């Protein structure tokens, strides 16, 4: 099964992004599943390297890395990166600038789309 996760919330503003990444990781570990993640808006900084993790929050970068290690793909909205002055060198290995064309393809080829 191919599942697309779309995240909109900042990595440390609540638990939605973290919990969604927990689900994505669990799903990516199951045989026969593939996971794509698209980071929109305030979720774009989830892929930043050198994050200061506030006390009481989970490491979303580690969670993204776990999904990538399982073969998942992670795209970050290019427009959202530009709006936040994020450079390609600022984000984790295994992530990339995503486009609306790529997101559209992921939506139309996924069995399930989950939005957090």
Q: What is the pLDDT of residues 4-27, one digit of tens each?
A: 999 999 887 878 998 999 999 999
> 88-98 pLDDT, tens per residue?
999 999 999 99
Please count the structural domains in the chain: 1
pLDDT at 52: 78
pLDDT at 34: 97
Rounded Cα gap, residues 76 and 95, in angstroms = 7
Instruction: Give the three-state DSSP class for 79.
Output: helix
Q: Which domain holds residue 56?
A: 2-115
CATH number, residue 101: 3.40.1260.10
> 23-51 pLDDT, tens per residue?
999 999 999 999 999 999 999 999 999 87
Residue 55 reports pLDDT greater than 80? no
Q: What would the mean pLDDT of 73-80 be, rounded to a whole number?
A: 98
Predicted TM-score of the model (pTM): 0.94
């Amino acid at each position: 099964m191919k599942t697309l996760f779309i995240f909109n919330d900042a990595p440390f503003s609540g638990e939605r992004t973290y919990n969604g990444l927990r689900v994505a990781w669990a799903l990516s570990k199951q045989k026969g599943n593939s996971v794509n993640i698209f980071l929109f808006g305030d979720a774009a900084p989830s892929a930043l390297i050198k994050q200061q993790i506030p006390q009481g929050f989970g490491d979303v970068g580690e969670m993204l890395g776990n999904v990538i290690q399982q073969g998942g793909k992670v795209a970050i909205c290019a427009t959202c990166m530009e709006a936040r002055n994020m450079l390609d060198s600022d984000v984790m290995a295994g992530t990339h600038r995503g486009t609306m064309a790529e997101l559209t393809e992921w939506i139309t080829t996924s069995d399930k789309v989950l939005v957090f």
